[in-house]
Structure 1
């Protein structure tokens, strides 16, 4: 059921047959930002309405799975008729793999509220629940009990009466949960079936509530799902890890006041966004970069590596990425193709989500035509695109040279370059060159610093290594009282005019106007051993959470 904050959402739900309840939201209709999160006062008012929405459903006698709109569900949280109750040992493991609801495992039936967490330590969460980390209200399970109704009333009041505009639903819940919290585990009655406890239970809110944590391995957050990719790991017995029930889009960047670009793009990359129409995967012509050309060769670092050394290696990779991306963008613009890329195939030490290293807002707001990493290996990709794929090796070229040299491949759906590193020499047309410079400067550079807590500056003198006080500020502070910074390299040059401001890596224009030689390559196996010899494999494991029941996970 969707709680609709406006008439537009109510209409969408009705058109698609989605159960909905309208939420009286006149106080936030005239908000200042399209993305509500960026209008702090309106977001605070919405948080109170959200909690009231929960209370209304609880009063009807229903238990509530409350989730924010940025939550994706991979399985139904309720048991089906064919599922047996979870037992101990192998039977319990099997039941979990059949997606039985965790909230009904012993002794979770005694819990009033179960919350998710911002913890990213999956093993630590499995052992103890990561109770040192705040509760996250993006996904909460509440039972229709009087104590829970009393809590939701206090929760709403806390949001409304706290003057701090940043005290919304999550901060308010954590403040209440800490009242009288003693970290003392509550002991449930023994289980008649002899089952062991799935999770510890604690008393909170002045001992008025029993609370527990939903396990991180089944209720994933943005870091454990997209970066750690816990679902792709093997279990201790060698079996496949079951897919999580739900995913909450935390630990993510790239949103703006206009739209949640970053969250949608994260879901596209992970193939849990199934809203794009079939035309998204069947129309257009594309330009891609081969995996070995998009990243530098793997350079293993020793265990003793310092932050400064690791940041230096990152900067080396990052510089290669920015120049590769800049020229891929130039060639795609000159050839009127959609660029496939983002984070490319950087796998050191993980497949990096694009919003971690790219200014995604600029890509959307500048109107750049692009597709997410993994698009060309998506199972929804049209066979027409897969069967029209050519890989080329080309020298540095200007826009008109590229159009002439690549004219034989004009109707090829995917034109894959062996490399685009220092390959684009600009536009002959001054207006097009200026436009490219403006767009490239908005989408290629990215600003980030590394805090070198293990790096001792020369000016620092002390009896212990580092001699910077623990909890000292990073990057800025008095001499010897802050950790130094390692900065990203400066972005590459953006030279858009091939005549007046030609890049140094480009040869002088040929007075005879000859066309550069382009060589077509026929590759049987790519370095990543892709199952499709015509594709570049971004995800090493095929991620498909829309399988039919009973199908084994590949």
Structure 2
């Protein structure tokens, strides 16, 4: 058959003509996949090729193929090869793909082209085998849709049809994934023609037999696959052990586009840069963020914090004309990033906040990273920041000192364990690309170009700049960087550049580059001997509104880091509550407190809080005053996962109670997106006033009327009359608000008040999930209920309740 089309046959099953509408099998689909299809369907035919030069008809490549990356396992032990085949068979069944047998089966010295082989080709396998498989069993099997020999994809890619060659992706999956987990992880890869799996021998663990029907599916698969991978005198091989950590979901850990790469050009031409940037010499550190007009206020605040920290070289990469217009009006250096079709889509979008557009938002990352690449190519070093990663102090001097002057890139992490990170950089968390420093070096320019293309070619919408960065840099384990004299360079590592090269990456210290947990929950910057923070990133927050990032803004206000409020915000009349009434008696919680006890205290504090806030809102509305929120204490952290001692893992040493951000205890967007008409100020408003508007501070803080209302409840008219003697005071501070307000005389106004405050004060939030009382459930168990029948789980306590009804007016 030399020089002729291969007689390997896909079978007349229609599978390879077009991808199925649901190309990935769910557990229910497998009822059709196992037991085998009807006997009328022709089995795949396996015919040995006498020579390595045998070719395949182009029509044979009209399919969707599953392939195992050649891992170059030393010796290619038969047990490894049999396990690899068994795992591949299971994945092929799950994905309904044609299985291309792995080249590792072939006893050849040249494993790329499958030449220089030892021995005669085994019948049905097209090459001499390293393990004695039963060719007749493989010829007869109906387990998978179709099978191709190892030579089918071997050799130079140029010999393959373009439709296959250009649709080639390599993915790495977590070890030990079951049917539902692997289906979920690969749900967006169904259109990939050549799907290559790394570490395929460990990827698939079988069907989750705890689910209905899966025990029979697993028995059927095991019986048939054992025939195929069986070897005389050897027992059956087992699949990798199931972990079940992911609960029916899972994510691809790494992906590499090995197909045809079309460059995604992003332009921010040097001649279009603002003069304040364009005229700076090469080697200048430029502080950079990016924004659409929908988040212009956040970007303007970022600029204000950078300038307050003492940095003049700031630049906004504008993603639309709306942002450019704001920059021109406010005198902020900006440049419009041009990215072809993505730029057009941004200009035509209908959604206000681009985050609410799940298809368009990920594409912004291509522009973002392309913009960094442009600036680096001009010779500038880039501090690349999200607009919610604000600066408290100037970080540039640090990058000029040892060891940071050795780094190509320095980046923050999502870790929260400050004491551990002080001892040694934590690498198990994601690098956070919301704050990354890049030096203008050839290897960094090459890296950002590859970074841009990785995002652009991703099949999954979740793979934006951060996910792609982590996939690239953690393609191989990070290695501590060594100096010329062999000493370890502190906090610096040698890591993958996403290809065959390496870059030097520095892991920024958590104690100086704080995030939403370390700053607003742990208050790590207030600990004894804490160094001054350099930046704060608004991560770990829970209040993304439909029209604005209210939770982030509120946190920045609470910290005195929101610098763009106008004079009217600080120069009005206000209603406040005394410190004594703001909280219950403070009760410190030790490091070993039982979460159940801490939650009880937390919920009692919450009930006290909302029963103060409801009358305060009514009185503030009646008087036409803004409400200064009272101090808010938390006796338990707020997290989407299990906690022990009411502290999440990594924050075991944090203090309880703590002054908590508004989004931990109140549904923050509801306080800014309602019809009540009451302005809100942060609990630290008076402190911030002195720093932000010292000219106003004396007038406001020197005009405080401290009042005790009689406990007989008053309506709005009664409140106005009772407080009329203090109407000129800039601040009216009530000693206690409970039981003082009964509603509005006007029925319509009262109905609106009842409705709006009930929504504002009833927080439908994630339950408290605790390890205590779980009967030693293992880590990664599910919160609140078993993931699968028989699983242990972490018990939950729900909160919060709605506010009490107002007292009746007398």
TM-score bucket of the superposed structures, by smaller chain: 0.7 to 0.9
- Structure 2, unaligned runs of 5 or more: 1-314, 636-655
State the Cα distance separating 1:249 from its structure 2 match.
Answer: 1.5
State the Cα distance separating 1:207 from its structure 2 match.
Answer: 4.8
Aligned to 1:315: 603
Q: Which moved more, 1:212-221 or 1:300-309?
A: 300-309
Aligned to 1:515: none
State the Cα distance separating 1:231 from its structure 2 match.
Answer: 2.5
Aligned to 1:491: 802
From 544, 560, 575, the equivalent of 1:271 is 560
2: CA distance, partners of 1:493 / 1:373: 23
From 648, 654, 659, the equivalent of 1:351 is 659
> Does structure 1 residue 76 correspond to structure 2 residue 394?
yes
Contact 1:441 1:494 in 2 (8 A): no
> Does structure 1 residue 146 correspond to structure 2 residue 442?
yes
Larger Rg: 2
> Counterparts of 1:364-513 in structure 2 under 5 Å?
364-366=672-674, 367-378=677-688, 379=690, 380=693, 381-394=696-709, 395=711, 396-448=713-765, 449-456=767-774, 466-477=775-786, 478=789, 481-495=792-806, 503=807, 509=810
Aligned to 1:201: 493
State the Cα distance separating 1:77 from its structure 2 match.
Answer: 3.1
Contact 2:320 2:346 in 1 (8 A): no
Contact 1:113 1:210 in 2 (8 A): yes
Contact 2:577 2:630 in 1 (8 A): no
Evaluate the alpha carbon distance shift between residue 52 and residue 397 of structure 1 in structure 2; reply closer, same or farther with a 3 A threshold: same
From 163, 168, 173, the equivalent of 2:464 is 168
- Structure 1, unaligned runs of 5 or more: 79-100, 236-240, 457-465, 496-502, 510-554
Contact 2:492 2:504 in 1 (8 A): no
Aligned to 1:215: 509
Aligned to 2:376: 58
State the Cα distance separating 1:102 from its structure 2 match.
Answer: 2.1
Greater RCO structure (CA 8 Å; 6+ sep): 1
Evaluate the alpha carbon distance shift between residue 315 and residue 5 of structure 1 in structure 2; reply closer, same or farther with a 3 A threshold: same
1: CA distance, partners of 2:591 / 2:372: 49
Aligned to 1:128: 424
From 602, 608, 627, the equivalent of 1:339 is 627
From 321, 328, 336, the equivalent of 1:22 is 336
2: CA distance, partners of 1:392 / 1:344: 21
3-state SS of 1:130 partner: coil
Aligned to 1:117: 413
State the Cα distance separating 1:479 from its structure 2 match.
Answer: 6.4
Q: Deviations over 1:293-332 (max 9, x none)?
A: 0110123445543211111111111111111111111111
2: CA distance, partners of 1:393 / 1:233: 37
3-state SS of 2:658 partner: coil
Aligned to 1:292: 580
2: CA distance, partners of 1:265 / 1:216: 22
2: CA distance, partners of 1:446 / 1:224: 24
Evaluate the alpha carbon distance shift between residue 228 and residue 452 of structure 1 in structure 2; reply closer, same or farther with a 3 A threshold: closer
Aligned to 2:367: 49
Q: Deviations over 1:424-445 (max 9, x none)?
A: 2112221111010121022111
Q: Deviations over 1:72-118 (max 9, x none)?
A: 1223333xxxxxxxxxxxxxxxxxxxxxx222222333321111111
Evaluate the alpha carbon distance shift between residue 468 and residue 107 of structure 1 in structure 2; reply closer, same or farther with a 3 A threshold: closer
> Counterparts of 1:235-254 in structure 2 under 5 Å?
235=529, 241-254=530-543
Evaluate the alpha carbon distance shift between residue 303 and residue 259 of structure 1 in structure 2; reply closer, same or farther with a 3 A threshold: closer
2: CA distance, partners of 1:196 / 1:302: 38
3-state SS of 2:412 partner: strand
Contact 2:715 2:744 in 1 (8 A): yes
3-state SS of 2:742 partner: coil
3-state SS of 1:138 partner: strand
1: CA distance, partners of 2:771 / 2:531: 37
State the Cα distance separating 1:167 from its structure 2 match.
Answer: 0.9
Q: Which moved more, 1:11-20 or 1:140-149?
A: 11-20
Q: Deviations over 1:10-64 (max 9, x none)?
A: 2332344332221122222233432222222211111110000001011111111
3-state SS of 1:41 partner: coil
3-state SS of 1:488 partner: coil
Q: Deviations over 1:458-499 (max 9, x none)?
A: xxxxxxxx143442210122466322211114212345xxxx
Evaluate the alpha carbon distance shift between residue 208 and residue 479 of structure 1 in structure 2; reply closer, same or farther with a 3 A threshold: closer
TM-score normalised by structure 2 residue count: 0.54
Evaluate the alpha carbon distance shift between residue 344 and residue 108 of structure 1 in structure 2; reply closer, same or farther with a 3 A threshold: closer
Evaluate the alpha carbon distance shift between residue 227 and residue 403 of structure 1 in structure 2; reply closer, same or farther with a 3 A threshold: same
Aligned to 1:85: none
2: CA distance, partners of 1:76 / 1:474: 42
3-state SS of 1:405 partner: helix
Contact 1:295 1:346 in 2 (8 A): no
Contact 1:320 1:421 in 2 (8 A): no
Q: Which moved more, 1:332-341 or 1:25-34?
A: 25-34
State the Cα distance separating 1:410 from its structure 2 match.
Answer: 1.7
3-state SS of 1:21 partner: strand
Contact 2:633 2:658 in 1 (8 A): no
Evaluate the alpha carbon distance shift between residue 304 and residue 177 of structure 1 in structure 2; reply closer, same or farther with a 3 A threshold: closer
Evaluate the alpha carbon distance shift between residue 389 and residue 196 of structure 1 in structure 2; reply closer, same or farther with a 3 A threshold: farther
Contact 2:520 2:661 in 1 (8 A): yes
3-state SS of 2:335 partner: strand
Aligned Cα root-mean-square deviation (Å): 2.2
TM-score normalised by structure 1 residue count: 0.78
1: CA distance, partners of 2:591 / 2:513: 32
Evaluate the alpha carbon distance shift between residue 339 and residue 166 of structure 1 in structure 2; reply closer, same or farther with a 3 A threshold: same
Q: Deviations over 1:120-163 (max 9, x none)?
A: 11121122111111100001111112211221111111111112
State the Cα distance separating 1:383 from its structure 2 match.
Answer: 1.9
